[in-house]
A and B are shown apart, each in its own frame.
Chain A
Amino acid sequence: MTSSQRNTLSLSRPDKKLAALLRLCALVSAAVVLLIMLFLIDESRPLLDHLQLSRFFTDRSWHPVQGLYNLTPMLSATLFSTAGALLLALPLGIASALFSRFYAPPTLAAWYRRLIELLAGIPSVVYGFWGLTTVAPWVARLHPPGVSLLTAILILALMILPTVALTVDAALAALPVSHYRGAAALGLSRWGMISGVALPAARAGIASGSMLAAGRAMGETMAVLMVAGNVVQHPHSLFDSVRTLTANIALEMAYAMGDHRAALFASGLALMLMVLALVGAAELFKWKSAHD
């Protein structure tokens, strides 16, 4: 006991070296993020210099070749598709983690976890291809054209499901055994223990898992590009075709020049700011729940 106390108060020499190394790595990572921001601003400056910022929100449409730069339909498409995918994937992912952690027999749980890991490893373009050739025609039977916000949400939910399932599973696994022993001593049922002890205690892990999943959904490009339809418009229903910010960049970058190119970098900047806002909101949530 005494030795562990000394270790936490003053670091031993190898620990100090390691701490310095880790600090350096952390600094480099932070610098890389800042550099990316600088780069995006620098590349979109040719446009920002002579275009009022409000034009990105008030222009009639997105037709950069004709000098129209409204980004808001793509912001809303990105938000809706991410939120929709999270709404579907969260309950399913949590249920899947609870199953493998508390209900499945150990052998089945191990195999089940491996299966979920496999699902996480499938390249996004495969999901997109499957979505375009299978899911989209199926949605089209309900309401044409088939490639739509709904299709994008379904595919994205499937893609982020393993992220949610695996992080929640890991968060549950990290809980101290004493929690479960205490719950058992109180005579709680299995569900009582899950809902009363395990899930509340793993709240921070579940929250960071959903943030990770939301980040992946927001940044996903290829699959969404193939199934969302890519028409720049505010969706009026789930069956409307939408274009996300990432799809916008991937669709137009190859042939964009001059102001058009700069406008695409500006949309990349908008995406970056959205992700920052998301991370900020998550930090706020964590801080609040820690001070409750």
Chain B
Amino acid sequence: MKKLILVVLTLIMIITAWSYLKIEGIHFDNEADIEKLILTGSSTVAPLAAEIGKRFESLNPNVRVDVQTGGSSRGVNDARAGLADIGMASRALKDSEADLHSYTIALDGISIIVNEANPVTSLTQQQIIDIYTGEITNWKAVGGNDRPITVVNKAEGHSTLELFLHHFGLQNTQVKPHVVIGDNQQGIKTVAGNPDAIGYVSVGSAEYEASHGVSIKLLPLQNIAASVKNLRNRTFPLSRPLNLVTKNEPSGMIKTFIEFARSEQVNDIIAAQYFVPVAP
């Protein structure tokens, strides 16, 4: 019995030691020939930048693109401090950041959606705020059927939620949701399956699904229709640019990468993540 316990303990110790040891990857590449491009910042831009980076690497075998997340502010700070070659920010630069250079690679917008069967065709800013804070709980109050409203909100931490709250000047603790969703698809399915639901999702995915027969309706915001077209001409109010930020005027490989990320060569990657490309 004692022997058994001893064996158990030794084994556990060995395995624990293993897991805590960081085994360094072995590099077969000739380090001198490899140019490394470091991107840090926004968790919204990071998945997109990673995909663009993969395609860039396949076209330029001597380049490694390293993408790390940490929020837009980290992206801006790292670019300024020279910790990253390129910062990623899912917002426009502030006045205090005017010394940096920013390049928009894609646009992101949020549309309020309701079920197609819902007779309501538009809502004012105040009405949307009242619905989301639980002041208005029946569609009758905004010109719809006499039915209780199902409020669909996004889960904490999602950038869509942050953008939505910021636009309407809300705190998440004020929002009184009936359903909380994760990704855009789940939001669209929820609203399509419930004639009394209201939600908000990325404009790109909502427009795609609505045009493919899913029973949802995109509501205009401040009388401007929610569409990819209005995102691209920058008139839709609930939107933001996804930017790459650099300290100096980009040159060399950094310049090549930014030009590549803004070119139509990556439009399919951008569209696949429901953002709107800037290249024609």
Contacts and interface: CB of A to CB of B under 8 A. Distances in A.
Interface stretch (B102-110, B154-162, B232-240, B254-262): B154-162
B85 to A, nearest CB: 22
Nearest to B173: A63
Interface residues of A, number: 42
A256 B157 contact: yes
Contact of B16 (A27, A35, A257): A35
B8 interface: yes
Contacts of A251: 155-156, 180, 182
Contacts of A235: none
A66 B180 contact: no
Contact of A27 (B11, B70, B158): B11
A10 B150 CA distance: 69
A114 B70 CA distance: 50
A34 B180 CA distance: 33
A229 B189 CA distance: 12
Contact of A252 (B11, B155, B177): B155
B119 interface: no
Question: Which residue among B11, B15, B171, B193 has the maximum number of chain A CB atoms within 10 Å of its CB?
Answer: B193
A38 interface: yes
Contact of B182 (A31, A140, A225): A225
Interface of A: 23, 27-28, 30-32, 34-35, 38-39, 61-66, 68, 132-133, 136-137, 140, 144-147, 225-226, 229-232, 241, 243, 250-252, 254-257, 260
Given A231-B180, A232-B180, 10 more contacts: A34-B12, A35-B19, A38-B16, A144-B178, A145-B150, A145-B178, A229-B179, A251-B156, A252-B157, A255-B43
A143 B193 CA distance: 14
B193 A252 contact: no
Nearest to B47: A254
Please report whether the interface of chain A is mostly helix, strand, loop or mixed according to DSSP: helix
A133 B189 contact: yes
B211 interface: no
Nearest 6 CB-CB pairings of A with B:
A230-B180, A255-B157, A251-B155, A145-B150, A145-B178, A137-B193
Nearest to A137: B193
A69 B122 CA distance: 36
A31 B12 contact: yes
B70 A257 contact: yes
Please report whether the interface of chain B is mostly helix, strand, loop or mixed according to DSSP: mixed
Contact of B181 (A32, A136, A140, A230): A230
B118 interface: no
A250 B182 contact: yes
A143 to B, nearest CB: 10
B280 to A, nearest CB: 31
B148 interface: yes
Contacts of B171: 66
A136 B155 contact: no
B92 to A, nearest CB: 21
B7 A230 contact: no
A252 to B, nearest CB: 5
A146 B193 CA distance: 9
Nearest to B196: A144
B156 A144 contact: no
A225 B16 CA distance: 33
27 contacts: A27-B7, A27-B8, A27-B11, A62-B156, A63-B156, A63-B172, A65-B157, A66-B173, A133-B189, A136-B193, A137-B194, A140-B194, A140-B196, A145-B196, A146-B150, A146-B193, A147-B179, A225-B182, A229-B180, A230-B181, A231-B177, A231-B180, A241-B178, A254-B182, A255-B158, A256-B157, A257-B157
